[in-house]
């Protein structure tokens, strides 16, 4: 990590609260030579339960404070790679009409990787993760483990789209005389995952930019601003996490107060867990932006003007406003729909009977959906404990035997063409450990999905009960 931080300091990356020049960028204890670009506001630290490697506050930070400035010279963008290398620019220029900006950035990234130590980005590239867990890296077994049709479809669609992107870009990469290893789909997948999970937005390139050091911030779901204290709001200079500014630099800000040592987090956006998994390779057990979708018949979806992605269940089990409205309208006789539409659109309940019917429908829909899935929440929770344990196990065979998940594990090993006995008393091979990590993510996702449906059942049952009491009192 030190070579990266030194290299970045030389390029003017700085966490100094004061305006900086490349020569001023140094750790607090260092002499005049810039040994690190951070140390004043941020330090690199490990957060095993919240993203692994990340950035911690080096001192107490105020909300809205500038915590990192990355000048344009340090950003890895397609235009920068092409400006530095006319041969790459010429080849890409000829293929540009057939390629997306993301494909071009991937080719530029792989071209730099191919230069090895001769790449000016070498200190940055050598610190990038060697593997990722985004959805397109999931094999068939791991995709199946998602269990829910919609999620499986998202994974399969992402996979076929990345394959065709790679095929389309291969003639260009051959023209650039990439080494055979860099021409492989595996390399494309790695570069795609790097771009997907690490780029920051810039106005002049849809693919975004790779931002050395700035891409060490881990993610927290954007907060509800109402939770901030009033004096905080008064002293706010910035409400955003950051962006590319007129000063020709990417500037990143603290979006809340941080105590020294606390992890400083960015809000990448409001993502559901499936989207987080697709683009970033992780999910949050407590994601306020989670949306749980249930299969709705066409006659329900097509009623009214609500977009299909607004028809979901919140993490607390409550149906979304639009889903509730749609169900109220759908359960009203066709000849009465027009008459009640103003009530529907304002979000009012139509009648106790109508609301009861909706709750009963939700209960039965969620119960049927849960029944159709191959495993229960309780089973998944047990499997998660097992998967966690087995990844850290030094005695696999015994741990598998005692777990009650021998069968699941046998199917998993068979998929990988491994014998159960091969996992004797040593640790499992690396590719198996990585597959277990992705399997665990898939089980986590489906388990959260089922938990939300169960919450929806409880919520609807309790509401139906209250409505019945109301009816009886009338
Ligand atoms: C921009 S990078 C952040 C730095 C990264 N941890 C590293 O070591 O380079 C984004 C990646 O960090 C991980 N990550 C970020 N926030 C996370 C979180 N809250 N929980 C788990 N993983 C997270 C994911 O792997 C994600 O794709």
> 170 with 298, same domain?
no
Query: Are the CB atoms for 289 and 272 separated by under 8 Å?
Result: yes
pLDDT digits (tens, 9 = 90+) for 391-421: 988 888 888 888 899 999 999 999 998 875 5
Task: Assign residue 347 a region (left: φ > 0; alpha: ψ between -120 and 50; beta: otherwise).
Answer: left
| Domain boundary, last residue among 181, 210, 239 | 210
The pTM for the full model equals 0.92
In angstroms, the CA 458 to CA 208 distance is 43
Confirm if 58 and 31 have CB atoms less than 8 A apart: no
Supply the residue whose CA is at minimum distance from atom 15 of ligand 1. Answer: 218
Do 179 and 69 share a domain, yes or no? no
Q: Which of 55, 126, 218 to mutate to test the pocket of ligand 1 (most atoms within 8 A of CB)?
A: 218
> What ipTM did this prediction achieve?
0.99
**pLDDT (tens digit per residue) in 238-262:** 445 778 776 789 999 999 999 999 9
**Pocket flag, ligand 1, residue 218 (CB < 6 Å):** yes
Does the CB atom of residue 51 touch ligand 1 within 6 A?
yes
In a domain, 286, yes or no: no
User: Do 187 and 110 touch, CB atoms closer than 8 A?
Assistant: yes
Q: Tell me how far the alpha carbon of residue 52 lies from the centroid of ligand 1, in angstroms.
A: 7
Angle (nearest 5°) at CA 240 between 234 and 245: 115
* 154 lies in the same domain as 257: no
Q: Which of 184, 210, 236 is the last residue of a domain?
A: 210
Q: Tell me the two tokens of residue 139.
A: 């094999």
Residues 270 and 338 in one domain: no
DSSP 232: H
| CATH number of the domain that residue 35 is part of | 2.170.270.10
Q: Confirm if 68 and 15 have CB atoms less than 8 A apart.
A: yes
Percent of the chain with pLDDT over 70: 91
Residue 24 exposed, middle or buried by CB count within 10 Å (0-12, 13-18, 19+): middle
Q: Report in angstroms the alpha-carbon separations of 147 from 267, 375, 381.
A: 29, 9, 15
Instruction: Verify whether ligand 1 is closer than 6 Å to residue 214 (CB atom).
Output: no
468 belongs to a structural domain: yes
Q: For tokens 């829909």, what's the residue?
A: 365
Q: Give which of 30, 38, 31 is closest to 9, Cα–Cα.
A: 38
Take atom 9 of ligand 1 and give the residue whose Cα is closest.
216
8 shares its domain with 90 = no
Q: Is the CB of 292 under 6 A from ligand 1?
A: no
368 Cβ neighbours under 8 A, 6+ residues apart: none
Confidence of residue 118 (pLDDT cuts 50, 70, 90): very high
Q: Candidates 50, 52, 76: which one to mutate for ligand 1, based on the most atoms within 8 Å of Cβ?
A: 52
Distance CA 381, CA 206 (A): 40
């Amino acid at each position: 990590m030190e070579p990266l931080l030194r290299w970045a300091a030389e390029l003017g990356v700085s966490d100094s609260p004061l305006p900086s020049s490349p020569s001023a960028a140094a750790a607090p204890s260092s002499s005049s030579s810039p040994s690190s670009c951070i140390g004043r506001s941020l330090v690199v630290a490990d957060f095993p339960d919240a993203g692994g490697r990340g950035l911690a506050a080096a001192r107490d930070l105020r909300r809205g404070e500038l915590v990192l400035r990355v000048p344009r010279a340090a950003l890895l963008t397609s235009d920068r790679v092409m400006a530095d290398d006319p041969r790459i620019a010429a080849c890409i220029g000829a293929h540009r009409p057939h390629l997306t900006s993301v494909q071009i950035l991937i080719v530029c990234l792989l071209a730099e990787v191919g230069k090895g130590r001769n790449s000016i980005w070498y200190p940055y590239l050598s610190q990038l993760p060697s593997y990722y867990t985004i959805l397109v890296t999931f094999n068939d077994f791991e995709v199946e483990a998602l269990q829910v049709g919609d999620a499986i479809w998202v994974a399969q669609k992402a996979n076929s789209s990345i394959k065709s992107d790679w095929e389309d870009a291969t003639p260009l990469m051959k023209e650039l005389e990439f080494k055979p290893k860099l021409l492989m789909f595996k390399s494309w997948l790695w570069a795609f995952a790097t771009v997907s999970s690490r780029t920051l937005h810039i106005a002049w390139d849809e693919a975004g930019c790779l931002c050395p050091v700035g891409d060490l911030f881990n993610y927290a779901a954007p907060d509800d601003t109402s939770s901030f204290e009033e004096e905080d709001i008064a002293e706010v200079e910035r409400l955003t996490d950051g962006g590319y500014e007129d000063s020709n630099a990417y500037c990143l800000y603290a979006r809340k107060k941080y105590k020294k040592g606390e992890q400083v987090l960015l809000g990448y956006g409001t993502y559901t867990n499936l989207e987080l998994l697709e683009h970033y390779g992780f999910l949050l057990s407590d994601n306020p932006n989670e949306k749980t979708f249930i299969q709705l018949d066409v006659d329900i979806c097509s009623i009214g003007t609500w977009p299909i992605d607004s028809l979901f269940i919140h993490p607390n089990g409550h149906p979304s406003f639009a889903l509730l409205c749609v169900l109220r309208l759908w359960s009203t006789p066709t000849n009465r729909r027009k008459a009640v539409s103003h009530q529907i659109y304002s979000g009012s309940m139509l009648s106790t009977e109508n609301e009861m019917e909706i709750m009963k429908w939700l209960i039965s829909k969620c119960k049927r959906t849960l029944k159709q899935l191959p495993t229960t929440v309780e089973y998944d929770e047990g499997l998660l404990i097992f998967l966690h344990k087995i990844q850290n196990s030094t005695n696999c065979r015994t741990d598998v035997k005692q777990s009650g998940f021998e069968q699941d594990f046998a199917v998993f090993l068979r998929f990988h063409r491994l014998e159960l006995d091969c996992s004797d008393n040593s640790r499992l091979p690396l590719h198996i450990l990585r597959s277990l990590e992705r399997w665990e993510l898939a089980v986590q996702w489906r388990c959260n999905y089922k938990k939300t449906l169960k919450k929806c059942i409880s919520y609807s049952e309790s509401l139906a009960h209250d409505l019945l009491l109301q009816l009886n009192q009338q």
